[in-house]
Amino acid sequence: MSGEHMQIGEVAARTELSLRTIRHYEETGLVIPSARSQGGFRLYTEADVARLMVIRRMKPLGFTLDEMRDLLAATDRLDAAGDDLGTEERERLLDRVRHFEQAAQERVAHLRTQLARAEEFAATLAGHLPRPAQHP
């Protein structure tokens, strides 16, 4: 499906993002449809879907739209330039990606702590409730 285009509804289903959210990301410049149909419908590629998945994964970690834009710009440049990048620019871009990877790891650890506390709380509440009767 690498060369095929998808309409926004299929992209929404594949990414589990709403049409409204995808349009919002388009309005903010995070993802731009690769093409338009003759009727003016947005058309997306696998690369567009992959980009939306990066955004979707960043969102629950609390990254801002500007941070998403910054990471995507760095990875876009790394991907597009390939070996044509100078050593200094490549290192600068890799440092940006490393910064985001470190921030993501820290945010995941924080979320794990929050989840553990929430599970403890739920277990405490469950301990205050009578257990359902067991049937033979």
pLDDT, tens digit, for every residue of 48-96?
999 999 999 999 999 999 999 999 999 999 988 777 888 899 999 999 9
| pTM of the entire predicted model | 0.80
Q: Which residues contact 111 (CB under 8 A, 6 or more apart)?
A: 60, 61
Neighbours of 73 (CB within 10 A): 12
Residue 109: both structure tokens together: 């650890």
Per DSSP, the residues of 19-68 read HHHHHHHHHTTS---SEE-TT--EEE-HHHHHHHHHHHHHGGGT--HHHH
The pLDDT tens digits of the residues spanning 88-133 come to: 999 999 999 999 999 999 999 999 999 999 999 999 999 999 988 7
pLDDT for res 3: 59
The pLDDT tens digits of the residues spanning 22-39 come to: 999 999 999 998 888 888
| The pLDDT of residue 1 is above 60 | no
The sheet carrying 35-36 orders its strands as: 6-7, 42-44, 35-36
Question: In angstroms, rounded to a whole number, what is the distance separating the alpha carbons of residues 22 and 11?
Answer: 9
